[in-house]
Each structure stands twice: as structure tokens, then as C-alpha cells.
Amino acid sequence: MSRPVAIITGASRGIGRAIAEELAATHQVLATYKGRRDMAESLREATGAAILQSDIASAADRAALIEFATATYGRIDLLVNNAGVTQRVRADVLEAGEESFDEILATNLKGPHFLTQAAGNVMLRQGSGRIVYITSVSAYAASVNRAEYCISKAGLSMSALLFAQRLAPHGIPVFEIRPGVIRTDMITTVEKLYEERIAGGLVPQRRMGEGTDVARAVRAIADGLLDYAAGQVLNVDGGFHMRGL
């Protein structure tokens, strides 16, 4: 294979799709999806990406993904941990149940953590690679009606740091990208509210983010422009993270 190989999880729509479309020009993209095969097929037809149905919360599916990548391409040059879910129903932290908690953390935290472990070992054997975690401003910004989502993203942020520490001495940089309010189907029900809050000053740059904003940050990492910045957190949030008086 002349092109580097990039695994992008949850790539059939939203941020993951934008990343897949961005990288397809330079990488052999292996895009995973869990549900909507039609959307994955449209990505394949538009970009030439390979697609694979995979539930990141499943140990068997994670193993099958790594096996497919190594057997088909012989290597993994970039892993983008993007797949994630939010609550089926938002509930107050004093009332939210364990079923939602388990579902969210299995997909958003356990899955990416152990997928990174597996891919990291492949990269150690081949002597190179890069890893990106797509987390969220919810890693530090508390929403009391989305507790399990916030907890999953905070944990994911620590997972990124742990692997960054472990793999940096081997020339395998790990990065965290924290998107802010990004226009995807995940926020459809509250998009109008966010637009109003952004207009009122929630985001200093006064606009909602797009998937392409995140994709361009991944591009910089994929092209090696940030290779001496292992463990860096990139805030793609329109300045939301800034504090002012």
C-alpha cells in the first residue's frame, strides 16, 4: 500500500464522516459504522473508503476491526477514536439510571480505550503511528442532565493522556481534540437553543462549529505537523474554553 492507513470509528455521519472525507484524498480510510449501512455505503461511493460494521463497545468487534486492518493493509498508521453516543433521553443527575450510564460508558470510554490499546500495540510493532481521540468540551463543562455523557468524555480525556504518556517515547504521538458545539444530528433537538446561546455570547467566535472544523485539526495531525506536540489537547470550540472577566 502506497498510502497510509487510517481507521476512523463512527465515520458514516457527523464529525466522523467529515474526517473521513478530509483524509480520503491522502489515506486509505477504513471507516466503521454501527447502524445506517446506507450512509456508510454513500461514504464509500463518494470517497473510496472501505467500510466495516463494528460496535466499538464489543470486544469481539474491536478485535475483528484490528484483524481486518492488519490482514488487509498490513499496518495501521492513524487511529481516530470518534465513535460516540449520547443519552437516549436526557435526565437529571439525581434521577438518571444505570442502564444509560452503562451504555454510554461502554461506547464512549471503554471501547475507545481498549481499541487504542490494541492499535497501539500494532503501532509499536511497526515502529510508527499516530492516534487521535475526539472528546468534547463536556470533558470539563458539566451538564447536569447529561451526566453519563460528561463522565464518559472526562474519562476519555484521561485515556488519551495515559496513552500519550506511554507511547511518546516510541515516536507514536497521541492527541486529544475537544470539539465544542458542532452541527451534527446529535444536537438536532437542541440546535435552535444552541444557536440562540451562541448569538448571545456562549462562543466567542459567534458561530456553531462544523464537522469540517474538526476534520482540519485531524488533517494537521495526520500530516505530521504536530508530531512534536505529543499529548496536546486541541480545542476546536470557537474559543468556548477561554475564560474572561
Closest CA to 70 of 48, 52, 84: 52
| pLDDT tens for each residue of 169-222 | 999 999 999 999 999 887 777 888 889 999 999 999 999 999 999 999 999 999
pLDDT in tens, 122-135: 999 999 999 999 99
Residue 33 falls in the annotated catalytic set: no
The CATH T-level fold of domain 5-181+210-236 is Rossmann fold (3.40.50)
Q: Which of 47-56, 74-83, 180-189 has the lowest mean pLDDT?
A: 180-189
Say whether pTM exceeds 0.85: yes
* Catalytic option among 33, 133, 140, 149: 149
How far apart are alpha carbons 159 and 136 in whole angstroms? 13
How many Å apart are CA 15 and CA 36, to the nearest integer?
A: 15
User: How far apart, in Å, are the Cα atoms of 4 and each of 27, 75, 186?
Assistant: 5, 8, 30
- Quote the CA–CA distance of 221 and 129 in Å, as a whole number: 11
Which stretches does DSSP call E strand in 116-204?
A: 130-134, 174-179
Centre a 10 Å sphere on the Cβ of residue 37 and count the other Cβ atoms it contains. Answer: 12
Q: Tell me what the mean pLDDT of segment 98-126 comes to.
A: 97
Cell numbers at 96, concatenated: 438518571
